Chain A
């Protein structure tokens, strides 16, 4: 393989060093500015852990309580810092425990490098102790993976791993290193990778497409923007905001696009998709021009494709050629980094307003407010709602917090109601919908943005999938705020059972432990609230703490999240009740 490289100055004296493969791995990490890593040791990766010990003044290793936690923490770190997250595990079960997090990072385009130890090369294929074919297992869920059997391969492969993970459409890379390669001595030099001949991170913008897009935007009477995480990954928030402010086009976000634009910005019209807002979903089928920016028309966004935006012309700003015309046929595609495409558009479009079209959004917003939002945020029933809990967090965070969510009703409610003033503030498992994501992801999110408040909002179900990471939070004193919205149910599944399976609540009710006692067992300050009059103070206490803090909010057991587009239905069939 042919790669382009850049000579990096070595921190050590001399240009080459005779060191072990294990030490080389550490030096590569440091050269890539990865001085915070998450992992779990074991036999096949012990030589690398031995070097972690020696380099502990330069490299902070966080011992999670499960390898899945290491991947989600690395993801959380990547999502708030914009850097590559790193997770380490031993061979066999250590490696297979990484798979969920890798799959999550793949579908949500999160830059991550996973390093696994492997049995010695002469044992490969012999079903040796803790041997597993992690290359084979991880192939469908990695952007790239590679097995190293010789120490001399380490610098080039590590350099490629970081380059691939962070460039173009980011994603997870797994490097499997046999134990003998970790021990082997070799002459080390490190060159950063700056290009790979078989890999073009993103195509060059085609001028004709740009002209065509500008023409369509100029002609549109009812244009509508849907943006996704591409805006954040491309660090195009400024260009995006300018585009919206100049063009006057109303815009809505996919769940991963949330926080790229401050939620209070006048162009922000809410969320599209299954539990998105009423106006943007309905008006998707009324706009005459749909401009999709850094999003991939996931089925949770589009519902039935045969009835999705058929009346509209479509402009797709995307950097991954495989995503173009995959689900929705675009009339014009701007295949490039959206930062570049948006800047190019901004140079050519003129200032406009669409008062009548915007009024359609305003009118529908009124309906959603009356039928859904008011009841969610100002409930009259005795039990607390998830909506008012999130609203209370907004009140005390002023929208400045990073909100990390798990998967389920609380996730949808949090994303619908959380207020954001800064980008990279919404950390959630979107594409894979991985329960258990939030608690470890919050650890990484806080370490990736130490000066920011990080609030994890988690369901009682998902919390128990990775609850052991309380140990990591305690040991590392990661000052995250953990909020459990406890409905004693696998709420989202229960909602579906209620709506589509005649209330047959098969295995969705949970008898839960005393969560406060568990948190206290980890020496984490903890409180429970179940009365409306106590909510304000409880959240205030939590936000006032500068240590890790746990708050259980007991909410109504059988509330539902609306609006909702039933699976496979058209966005036009969005239900308000």
Chain B
């Protein structure tokens, strides 16, 4: 079956072992994660994992059921790219001398809408937020100048549809 990109969003309690528990679900099924990020959510004391996987459509539902089954998971969802607003963040570290010697670099930064985060005598750091293709295009454009370091964050995303976590939590209170 053809693979598709899914963003899995998990709302959970903040339990130390949960990260391990969730990644074990993928490990057990020999599934590679494209990215994994975790942060606080809109609700106090509720945490949110954003996991990106390339996976056959019939598998994603079963995986999400397994995640949701974990005691400390409040709710888990999966969405296609069309159903989410998502971004990644990338940092590019380049030798400072290029900034002044190579005119072209300044044009690249300008046209890619990247921002310069810091400049020191030795190096400068550019930041770009956007889709994978955009951060990737910038990486390729800068590569000929010698990237000292490159790093890209995991995907963060919000869904177009409502999540309804507060409703779930309110039902419990009753």
Tell me if B71 and A144 are in contact (CB < 8 A): yes
Give chain B interface residues in 69-113, CB to chain A under 8 Å: 69, 71-74
Interface of A is mostly: mixed
Tell me if A136 and B72 are in contact (CB < 8 A): no
Which chain B residue has the least Cβ–Cβ distance from A327?
B62
Bound CA span A2–B172, Å: 10
Bound CA span A143–B72, Å: 10
Q: Interface residue tally of chain A, by bracket? A: 20 to 34
| A164 adjacent to chain B (CB < 8 Å) | yes
Convert B116-155 into 0s and 1s, putting 1 for each residue whose CB lies closer than 8 angstroms to a CB of A: 0000000000000000000000000000000000000000
Tell me if B62 and A145 are in contact (CB < 8 A): no
Tell me if B65 and A1 are in contact (CB < 8 A): no
User: In the complex, how many angstroms separate the beta carbon of B52 from the nearest chain A beta carbon?
Assistant: 21
Give chain B interface residues in 11-31, CB to chain A under 8 Å: 12-13, 15-17, 20-21, 24, 27-28
User: In the complex, how many angstroms separate the beta carbon of A129 from the nearest chain B beta carbon?
Assistant: 23
User: In the complex, how many angstroms separate the beta carbon of B67 from the nearest chain A beta carbon?
Assistant: 9
The residues of B that contact A321 with a CB separation of less than 8 Å are: 65, 68-69
The residues of A that contact B1 with a CB separation of less than 8 Å are: none
| A199 adjacent to chain B (CB < 8 Å) | yes
The residues of B that contact A164 with a CB separation of less than 8 Å are: 71
User: In the complex, how many angstroms separate the beta carbon of A145 from the nearest chain B beta carbon?
Assistant: 6
Bound CA span A338–B26, Å: 30
Q: How many B residues touch A, CB cutoff 8 Å?
A: 23
| A365 adjacent to chain B (CB < 8 Å) | no
The residues of B that contact A2 with a CB separation of less than 8 Å are: 172
Given A136-B20, A197-B172, A198-B73, also A322-B15 (CB < 8 A): no
Tell me if B24 and A140 are in contact (CB < 8 A): yes
The residues of A that contact B13 with a CB separation of less than 8 Å are: 1, 198
Given A1-B13, A2-B172, A135-B17, also A143-B71 (CB < 8 A): yes
Bound CA span A143–B61, Å: 20
| A530 adjacent to chain B (CB < 8 Å) | no
Give chain A interface residues in 1-60, CB to chain B under 8 Å: 1-2, 4
Give chain A interface residues in 321-352, CB to chain B under 8 Å: 321-322, 324-326
Tell me if B28 and A195 are in contact (CB < 8 A): no
Pick the contact of A322: B12, B65, B172 (CB < 8 A): B65
Pick the contact of A198: B20, B28, B66, B72 (CB < 8 A): B72
| B169 adjacent to chain A (CB < 8 Å) | yes
Given A135-B17, A145-B17, also A326-B62 (CB < 8 A): yes
User: In the complex, how many angstroms separate the beta carbon of A165 from the nearest chain B beta carbon?
Assistant: 11
Interface of B is mostly: helix
Bound CA span A322–B61, Å: 9
Bound CA span A195–B71, Å: 11
Pick the contact of B71: A136, A198, A320, A326 (CB < 8 A): A198
| A474 adjacent to chain B (CB < 8 Å) | no
| A496 adjacent to chain B (CB < 8 Å) | no
Considering residues A4, A139, A326, which has the most beta carbons from chain B within 10 angstroms of its beta carbon? Answer: A139
Pick the contact of B28: A140, A143, A146, A325 (CB < 8 A): A140
Which chain B residue has the least Cβ–Cβ distance from A145?
B17
Convert A166-194 into 0s and 1s, putting 1 for each residue whose CB lies closer than 8 angstroms to a CB of B: 00000000000000000000000000000
User: In the complex, how many angstroms separate the beta carbon of A519 from the nearest chain B beta carbon?
Assistant: 40
Tell me if B71 and A199 are in contact (CB < 8 A): yes
| A569 adjacent to chain B (CB < 8 Å) | no
Bound CA span A24–B65, Å: 36
| A147 adjacent to chain B (CB < 8 Å) | yes
The residues of A that contact B27 with a CB separation of less than 8 Å are: 140
Tell me if A322 and B69 are in contact (CB < 8 A): yes
Pairs across A and B, CB under 8 Å, 14 listed? A1-B13, A1-B72, A135-B17, A136-B20, A139-B21, A140-B27, A144-B71, A144-B72, A164-B71, A196-B71, A197-B74, A198-B12, A321-B69, A325-B62
Task: Give the 10 A-B residue pairs with the shortest CB-CB distance, closest first.
Answer: A322-B65, A197-B172, A198-B74, A144-B71, A140-B24, A1-B13, A322-B69, A199-B71, A139-B20, A139-B21
Chain A residues with CB under 8 Å of chain B are 1-2, 4, 135-136, 139-140, 143-147, 164, 195-199, 320-322, 324-326
Given contacts A135-B17, A198-B74, A321-B69, 11 further A-B contacts (CB under 8 A): A139-B24, A140-B21, A140-B24, A140-B28, A195-B172, A198-B12, A198-B13, A321-B68, A322-B66, A322-B68, A322-B69
